[in-house]
């Protein structure tokens, strides 16, 4: 099943660690296994973060992110998140909220 999700995670880079929100597509495989996240895009983060490379961590996933000229730019490598370890287990838990579910009849037609 494919759905659009709002992810609450931690943005890390340039000596900073800040909470952030990111939109992504989540594909849950038909067989047991981890969800796959794609089209990850930082939507909400502190405005004073300098341009540069960052990572977003959430629920054991790590996604690279980049800020250029004050805008969050999806990197070519952000197509799929890869399972990893949270960098600081003492941090608050992460949340993923369903934004919209894509019906199966439209699944292969979503850009």
Q: Which residues contact residue 105 at a Cβ distance below 8 angstroms, ignoring those fewer than 6 apart?
A: none
Q: Are 79 and 41 in contact (CB under 8 A)?
A: no
C-alpha R_g of the chain: 14
Give the span between the Cα atoms of 13 and 64, in whole angstroms: 10
Q: What is the pLDDT of residue 24?
A: 87
94: nearest Cα among 19, 17, 3: 19
Q: Is the pTM of this model over 0.75?
A: no
Q: Mark the ranges of the chain whose per-residue pLDDT is less than 70.
A: 75-111
Q: Which residues contact residue 88 at a Cβ distance below 8 angstroms, ignoring those fewer than 6 apart?
A: 10, 17
């Amino acid at each position: 099943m494919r759905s659009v999700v709002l992810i609450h995670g931690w943005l890390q880079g340039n000596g900073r660690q800040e909470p952030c929100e990111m939109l992504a597509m989540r594909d849950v495989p038909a067989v047991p296994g981890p969800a796959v996240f794609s089209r990850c895009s930082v939507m909400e983060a502190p405005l004073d973060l300098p341009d540069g490379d960052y990572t977003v961590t959430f629920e054991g996933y790590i996604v690279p992110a980049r800020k250029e000229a004050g805008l969050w730019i999806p990197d070519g490598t952000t197509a799929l998140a890869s399972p990893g370890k949270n960098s600081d287990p003492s941090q608050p838990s992460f949340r993923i909220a369903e934004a919209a579910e894509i019906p199966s009849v439209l699944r292969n037609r979503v850009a």
